[in-house]
Amino acid sequence: MFLLIGYVVILLASVGTYSVHGSLMALWVPFEYLAIVGLAIGALVASNGPKAVKATLRTVPSILKGSPYTKAMYMELLALLYEILAKVRKEGLMSIENDVDNPDSSPIFTKYPAIAADHHAVEFLTDYLRMMVGGNLNAFEIEGLMDKEIETHHEEAHAVPHIVAKLGDALPAFGIVVAVMGVVNVMGSVGQPPAVLGKMIGGALVGTFLGILLSYGFIQPIASQLEQRVDEGGKVYECIKLVLLASMNGYAPQVAIEFGRKALYSTERPTFAELEQDIKSRKG
**Whole-number average pLDDT of the chain:** 88
Instruction: Give the pLDDT score at 190.
Output: 67
The pTM of this model reads 0.82
CA distance 83 to 9: 46
pLDDT by residue for the chain (284 residues), tens only, comes to: 788 899 899 988 888 888 887 778 878 888 888 989 999 999 999 999 899 999 999 988 888 887 888 899 999 999 999 999 999 999 888 889 888 889 888 899 999 998 988 899 999 999 999 888 876 778 888 899 899 999 999 988 899 999 999 999 999 999 998 888 887 777 777 667 777 667 777 777 888 888 999 999 999 999 999 999 998 889 999 999 999 999 988 899 999 999 999 999 998 999 999 999 988 888 76
CA distance 154 to 194: 56
Instruction: Give the pLDDT score at 257.
Output: 94
66: left (phi over 0), alpha (psi -120 to 50) or beta: left
Q: What is the residue extent of each domain of the chain?
A: 1-63+77-284
Looking at residue 103, the DSSP 8-state letter turns out to be G
Q: If you compute the radius of gyration of the chain from its CA atoms, what whole number of angstroms results?
A: 26
User: Which residues fall within 8 angstroms of residue 183, CB to CB, at 6 or more apart?
Assistant: 201, 204
End-to-end CA, the chain = 36
Instruction: Give the pLDDT score at 41.
Output: 93
- Please answer whether residues 165 and 220 qualify as being in contact, where contact means their C-beta atoms are separated by less than 8 angstroms: yes
CA distance 264 to 274: 14
Instruction: Give the pLDDT score at 64.
Output: 83
CA distance 108 to 129: 14
